[in-house]
Amino acid sequence: MLPAWEVLEAIPFVLEAVLTACAHGRLSSRDLTTGLRDLIDFLPASIGAIISYFTAEVTRGTWKPVPMNGTDWPSPAAVLSYVESEMKEILSVAGVKFPSCSSGLSPVMLPLPMAALVSLTITFKLNKGLDHIHSVVGPALENCASGCPWPSVPIIGSLWAQKVRRWHDYIVLSCARSVFRQNKEAVAQLLQSCFSSFLGSANASTSLLTYQSSVCGLLGSTIGVSSGIGSLAPGFLYLRSCHTIQDIQYVNGVITSLVGEHARESAARWPSTNSSCLKSSQASLSLAATKAREAAILGASLVCVSGGMNLVQELYVETIPTWLLSSREEKHGGVSVVSRIVEGYAMAYMLILTGSYAWAAGVRSPAWALSRRAHIVGTHMDFWQGYWKETYHLAVTQPLGKLMSLV
């Protein structure tokens, strides 16, 4: 009889030996899977050591891929094309270009540790006695697949979709979300769709808060089976995916550029200061400021949802200072002065909102912290009061053209 700790300590050496034997043809894939399953049945805690070892080996990338042909390893061919078509539908609705998948590959391939892990997991029965194993296996497969080449995720999802048909929609959505884990371009496209669906057309002459734009366009009017998996709104898809993005600092730069872009576009139809009157076909400056605020509200919300306090701090310390120090020609080109002012207004609005979301709301603070916060906020509001008084004085005493040049 061996203590359980000695068995767990020996598992990585055993796994290395059996993977090496399988890679050189001395051990069949069926015997490998059966042996691992017997080990887990004997000592359920060994599932943690097995997953940890396989994840590390997949990350190393030293094992050659094996064909998932249905003979040596299970084949996903029966539903792979169907899963990929549904993934493409979900991403295309969200405005994301679907990357090339494994449809042209014959047969499909997985790294040996990944093939062994997914072959092991699909042998488990779906009963309440194995809930603890499924709660470990699900996140492990998702994390492990992120270290493999891109087509690995649809392959793993297809294998599980064949096993549990009632999980089909959840599996397809999980596969679609995995695109954003490492693909920065896909993240940028999804964020662009979020802004477009929330703000609507930049040339619209009406308020933003309508059914076509605002929250309904961002998150959808319904979430459920009746709405269909292919009709997921871009905001809902981003909420399900943002916590898996690896380079979360990249999100700050994208959101900042989108807020600035939409703020500039909102003021693009403001007439020249030399115009004697406001033409009916041109938008008002009040509407441009309203649209800029809406862009800032969405930007602040996405920043806080994506990374919380850490991303807000990154916005204050790195992103906004970098935006301020970048050259005017690089940021704007031939944009008018009014558009630049509205863009700065949107950036300041977003900065204040993100700080309010992150630092003004939360758990109840002690009395000394509340008094200090009240003093800081009071000083801050006194500053803004003096600033706006000075701005109002200039507005009523100086012509509009001179006021613009002073700002």
Please calculate the CA angle 268-200-312 and round it to the nearest 5 degrees: 85
CB of 202 closer than 8 Å to CB of 267: no
In a domain, 291, yes or no: yes
Residues 109 and 148 in one domain: yes
Give the DSSP letter string of 166-204. GGHHHHHHHHHHGGGTT-HHHHHHHHHHHHHHHH--TT-
Residues 65 and 161 in one domain: yes
**pLDDT > 90: percent of the chain:** 12
Distance of alpha carbon 241 from alpha carbon 224, whole angstroms: 18
In a domain, 50, yes or no: yes
In a domain, 371, yes or no: no
Residues 307 and 325 in one domain: yes
* The pair of three-digit structure tokens given for residue 215, joined into one six-digit string: 């929250």
Average pLDDT for 7-36: 92
In a domain, 238, yes or no: yes
CB of 190 closer than 8 Å to CB of 254: no
Residues 111 and 195 in one domain: no
- Contact partners, residue 200, CB within 8 Å, separation at least 6: 208, 210, 212, 213, 217
Confidence of residue 190 (pLDDT cuts 50, 70, 90): very high
Single-letter amino acid, residue 36 = L
Residues 107 and 164 in one domain: yes
Does position 176 have pLDDT exceeding 90, yes or no?
A: no
Confidence of residue 31 (pLDDT cuts 50, 70, 90): very high
Average pLDDT for 116-122: 88
Instruction: State the helix-helix crossing angle for 184-199 and 234-241, rounded to 10 degrees.
Output: 140
pLDDT of residue 26: 92
Distance of alpha carbon 255 from alpha carbon 303, whole angstroms: 8
Residues 66 and 162 in one domain: yes
Residues 177 and 190 in one domain: no
Report the helix count and the strand count for the chain, using DSSP H and E: 18, 2
Confidence of residue 280 (pLDDT cuts 50, 70, 90): very low
Instruction: Give the pLDDT confidence of 288-323 residue by residue, as tens digits.
Output: 888 888 899 999 999 988 888 888 888 888 888 888
Single-letter amino acid, residue 290 = T
Residues 141 and 195 in one domain: no
pLDDT of residue 30: 92
Q: Tell me the residue range of the domain where 114 lies.
A: 4-181
For 330-339, give one letter per residue: b (16+ CB within 10 A) or e: eebeebbebb
CB of 289 closer than 8 Å to CB of 342: yes
Residues 70 and 162 in one domain: yes
Instruction: Give the pLDDT confidence of 210-265 residue by residue, as tens digits.
Output: 444 577 778 876 554 444 565 788 888 898 888 888 888 899 899 999 998 888 88
| Domain stops at, among 181, 214, 238 | 181
Does position 78 have pLDDT exceeding 70, yes or no?
A: yes
In a domain, 406, yes or no: no
Instruction: State the helix-helix crossing angle for 285-314 and 248-266, rounded to 10 degrees.
Output: 170
Number of domains within the chain: 2
In a domain, 275, yes or no: no
For tokens 């009040």, name the residue.
Answer: 286
Residues 49 and 173 in one domain: yes
pLDDT of residue 372: 62
Tell me the CB-side half-sphere exposure of residue 163, using CA atoms within 13 A. 18
pLDDT of residue 365: 54
In a domain, 280, yes or no: no
| Domain stops at, among 181, 214, 239 | 181
Of residues 158, 73, 161, the one with CA closest to residue 113? 73
Average pLDDT in the chain: 77
Confidence of residue 181 (pLDDT cuts 50, 70, 90): confident
Residues 147 and 261 in one domain: no
Average pLDDT for 376-388: 66
What residues does 66 pair with on adjacent strands? 110
Does position 356 have pLDDT exceeding 50, yes or no?
A: yes
- Contact partners, residue 62, CB within 8 Å, separation at least 6: none
In a domain, 119, yes or no: yes
Residues 20 and 147 in one domain: yes
